[in-house]
Structure 1
Amino acid sequence: MESAAGQRQAGALPYAVVDGRVTFLLITARRSGRWIFPKGAIEPHLTPWESAAEEAREEAGVIGTIEQQPVGSYRASAGSDNSILVDVDLYPMLVQQQLDDWKEHGQRLRHWAVLHETKRLLLDPQIARLAVRLHRRLTKDAQPTVSSSSK
């Protein structure tokens, strides 16, 4: 496989907190039908996180607050024959609005899932690790602190 040196894409990791539980929004890839997070090329007139937010709107039909720092990155194949490797930076996005109609509606499925289902649906362990990383970060403040008692 040919590797494109320095070629990067931006993706969104859409999430919401419902009844105190972190849920993630997955979509299907158009060609393979595999569950993924929205991603695509970084548009020349946008920052990487703005490009990620645009991909989330076009591919998943969601709008929200996107972070300017990625939760991490993973390597993916791209191009019409998947012969090019790209690094995808994944930006957390707190979903505030889900659209009924969007650009790629009818071309993809979308599905909200809690972490254990997200890990099962994502076939790429690199992507699943990033969902786990964000979940840990979002839930660490909700964890009770354990203090050791002194005698």
Structure 2
Amino acid sequence: MSAYPRPIQQYGALCFRNTPRGPRVLLITTRETRRWMIPKGWPISGLKPRKVAEREAWEEAGVIGKAHKKPFGEFVYDKVMQDGSGARPVVAVFLLEVRRCRKRFPEMEERESAWLAPFEAARRIEEPDLERLLLKFGRMVERAELC
């Protein structure tokens, strides 16, 4: 039997914005392990998945924007739950074009953040599936399919 018996759903936001130096994506650190990650969280009753992604982006990174209606992709990672058990969340990732950034937001004291070129962001990520999504996004914006 696997140490991670059941996949569980989460929703995440691949936050991006255009800058004079080209598109940038937002990475934040996780609270416990301080790994680089995108904003993500658990389903919220009454909210559509893309709205959950928008809320997580605000709470964890202080960014406000509109998430695309359909997921851009998904990634899986291993998580240790508060009770010590293991889980393997499947994160549906929505592209979110950032319109505003706030200096004050709910988790501002708990995380670091960085705006990076997509390929640079991919190098900081430990989860292979998320790294692939960042590289896919980078190739898309290079071909001007987005932004």
Taking the aligned partners of 1:65 and 1:27, their CA distance within structure 2 comes to: 18
Q: List per-residue Cα deviations over 1:28-77 (Å, max 9, x = no partner).
A: 00010000000010101101110011000000110012111111101122
Could you tell me whether the CA contact under 8 Å between 1:71 and 1:133 is conserved in 2? no
Could you tell me whether the CA contact under 8 Å between 2:119 and 2:138 is conserved in 1? no
Q: Equivalent residue for 1:147? A: none
Counterpart of 1:50 in structure 2: which amino acid?
A: K
Could you tell me whether the CA contact under 8 Å between 1:3 and 1:86 is conserved in 2? no
Q: Equivalent residue for 1:50? A: 51
Q: List per-residue Cα deviations over 1:100-135 (Å, max 9, x = no partner).
A: 000001100011011232022112221111111122
Taking the aligned partners of 1:39 and 1:13, their CA distance within structure 2 comes to: 9
Which of 114, 128, 131 is equivalent to 2:131?
A: 128
Taking the aligned partners of 2:94 and 2:85, their CA distance within structure 1 comes to: 23
Q: Which runs of 5+ in 2 are unaligned?
A: none
Moved more, 51-60 or 67-76: 67-76
Query: Which contiguous aligned blocks of 4+ residues in structure 1 show a shift greater than 6 angstroms?
Result: none
Moved more, 108-117 or 131-140: 131-140
Could you tell me whether the CA contact under 8 Å between 2:54 and 2:96 is conserved in 1? yes
Could you tell me whether the CA contact under 8 Å between 2:74 and 2:92 is conserved in 1? yes
Does residue 9 of structure 1 match 2:7? no
* RMSD across aligned positions (CA): 1.5
Larger Rg: 1
Counterpart of 1:76 in structure 2: which amino acid?
A: Y
Q: Equivalent residue for 1:62? A: 63
In the TM superposition, 1:1-151 aligns within 5 A as 1-5=3-7, 7-19=8-20, 21-78=22-79, 79-80=81-82, 81=84, 83-141=86-144
Moved more, 125-134 or 7-16: 125-134
TM-score by length of 2: 0.89
